[in-house]
Amino acid sequence: MEKLNGKKKLNVSVLISGRGTNLKSLINFSKKKNSRINICLVITNNKNAKGLNFAIKNNIKYLILNYKNKKKAESKILFNLKRKKINLICLAGFMKILSKRIINKYKGRILNIHPSLLPKYKGLNTHERVIKNKEKYTGCTVHIVNSKLDDGKKILQSKIRIYKKDNEKSLAKRLLKVENKLYPKAVKKFLDTSL
């Protein structure tokens, strides 16, 4: 492992399923002077994930998995994480649930970003549900992954107001920008406080 100012520089793998704006912001963060992360591997379950373009542009190795057989897919994940000496995994819009096999192996070393103010609104369709419930606020959370869905210790959260004129789409769009800022900040906090 490389060292930066006496501290370990971590090899990071980012797992995505789609557009990859959070991957992009983590890549930008990794390129900053004094950054303690090296993104060495992008993994996806979706061969058409737009986010793969960010890996390609930045010369980051990527792996496309066929998730029809989850067990095989996860074996490939584990094999490649080991091969690339990955120390930290960031889930960034990865829409598959990791099994205990991976979570236990990388205990406390898997982060996730979720588009709600956890513990509220775990799971899918968060924007639809917050609007339906006439919430005044929503937000996003970066947390450590444990074996329960969208659970685990919170690292950072950002909150935004929901306006009367908001719909699912406008809310998702506004929140995404906030997510893109939050994820690198949370990774930095995690590294500074936990590793």
Residues identified as active-site: 114
**Cα 2 from Cα 153, distance rounded (Å):** 27
Write out the binding residues for ligand GAR, residues 91-120 only, by CB under 6 A.
92-93, 113-115
Write out the binding residues for ligand GAR, residues 21-80 only, by CB under 6 A.
21-22, 51
- Binding of residue 179 to ligand GAR (CB under 6 A): yes
| Closer of 74 and 151 to ligand GAR (Cβ) | 151
**Cα 181 from Cα 156, distance rounded (Å):** 11
Site string for ligand GAR, 122-141 (x = CB under 6 A): ------------------x-
Interhelix angle 168-194/21-30, rounded to 10 degrees, is: 30
Residue with the closest Cβ to ligand GAR?
93
| Closer of 85 and 153 to ligand GAR (Cβ) | 153
How many Cα atoms are found within 13 Å in the side-chain-facing hemisphere of 154? 13
Q: Which residues pair with 61 in a beta bridge?
A: 41
